[in-house]
Amino acid sequence: MVLKLRVGFFIAWIIPYVFLVCYNIGFFTYIITNAKGLNEINRMGIFVFMWFVFSLVLVFGAIRIIQWYKQGKFHIAHPSPNQETESVEPKAAEKRLSSVPDVPSCLGCRLANGLEEAHVVFENDYVTCLLDIDPLNEGHTLILPKRHFVELADTDISARHAIMNASVRISNALKMIYKPDGISIMQNGGSFNDLGHYHMHVFPRYNNDGFGWKEPAVKSRHSLDVVKQRIAEQLKDGMPQL
C-alpha cells in the first residue's frame, strides 16, 4: 500500500495551525517583553487572558488534528501495483479472522476471505469480487471488503479506495462482455443490508429490463431549498470530507 498526502487537507488545516502557533508564541513573547509597560497601563490582565484563551483553542485544535491523523484523513491509500493480483490464502484468512471476536460467524467475512464457496471474479489484499447468487442481470457482481465493516461510514480509507477501484474494473469488464445500455452501482445500508457486511453491487443494465426507482410511499415533507440547506449545513459543521 502506498500512502499519498492529501495536499488540500494539509494546506487547509496544518499550515494555518502552524501559523497560529507561531503567532501565539510571538504574542506571549510580546507580553513578557512588555510586561512593565502593560502593568503601567493596566492591560496586563487582559493580554494574559487573551493569550490563555487563544492557547486553549490551539490545544483543542491539536487534539482534533491528532484524531484526524490517526483516522488517516491526511493520506490517501493506494494499493501498490503488485497488490492488484495478490490474494490471501484461506488458512491465513482463517487465522486472521479467528483473532477477531464474532467475525468468523459473518457470512460476508467468510465469503470475502475464501472460507465459503463462491464464484470469485477478482480479488486482492483488500476486497473480493464475486457473483451474486440471485442476479438482477447476468454479470451482477458484489464487491466485499475482506475486513469486517457493516456500514459505509465504518470503512477506512484503504477499503474505500479498494472498493471504488474494483468497481471501475468490474464495470469495464461488464461493458466489454455484455455491451449493456448502462451500469448500475449501488449499496444498501441499515436494515436494507441483508448480508450484515458492507458490499457494493455492480451490474449491467438494459433498457426496459424492469429494474428502476419506484415512487416513494411517503413524499418529502420539505422543499428542495430546505433540504439543500439542512444537508449543506450538516456537511459544513461536521467532520471534513475524505
Cα(202)–Cα(26) distance, integer angstroms: 56
Query: Is 140 one of the catalytic residues?
Result: no
223 three-state secondary structure: coil
Q: Which residue has the cell 487537507?
A: 9
The residues with which 66 forms a beta bridge, in sequence order, are: none
The residue from 78, 161, 201, 222 that is catalytic is 201
Pair type for strands 75-78 and 120-123: unpaired
The residues with which 131 forms a beta bridge, in sequence order, are: 141
Which three cell numbers, joined as nine digits, stand for 197? 457486511
Cα(56)–Cα(63) distance, integer angstroms: 11
Q: Taking the mean position of all CA atoms in its chain, how far away is CA 125?
A: 18
Q: For the purposes of burial, counting CB atoms within 10 Å of the CB of 11, is it exposed (0-12), middle (13-18) or buried (19 or more)?
A: exposed
Rounded to 5 degrees, φ, ψ at 88 are -100, 125
Residues assigned a catalytic role? 201
